[in-house]
């Protein structure tokens, strides 16, 4: 299992801030997790549609689609940041 977090506008679009999901496959990557989220209902497909600007972090470090996932990882999806 991995913990998946959603922040800001992305959290509002998918309607949840946190959930626990099974790792999609052995040797899974962020890309495979995104595919499984995109395969859900309309809001999820829309939020993760190609061309949508989102960022991902694994264990609180900036990650990308190729980043591997392991049991217990914390994966966060969020829009481009706007602090400062």
Q: How far is the CB of 8 from another protein (least distance, A)?
A: 4
CA angle at residue 37 from 31 to 38, to 5 degrees? 85
51 forms part of the interface with another protein (CB under 8 A):
no
Q: How many CB atoms lie within 10 A of CB 83?
A: 3
- Contact (Cβ atoms closer than 8 angstroms) between residue 26 and residue 43: no
Spell out, one character per residue from 8 to 47, where the chain touches another protein: x when CB under 8 A holds, - when not: xx--------------------------------------
- Chain residues binding another protein by CB under 8 A are 5, 7-9, 53, 57, 60-62, 76, 78-84
């Amino acid at each position: 299992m991995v913990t998946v977090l959603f922040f800001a506008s992305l959290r509002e679009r998918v309607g949840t801030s946190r959930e626990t999901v099974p790792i999609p496959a052995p040797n899974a990557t962020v890309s495979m997790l995104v595919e499984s989220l995109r395969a859900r209902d309309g809001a999820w497909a829309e939020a993760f549609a190609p061309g949508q600007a989102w960022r991902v972090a694994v264990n609180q470090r900036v990650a990308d689609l190729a980043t591997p996932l392991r049991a217990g990882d914390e994966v966060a999806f969020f829009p481009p940041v706007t602090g400062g």
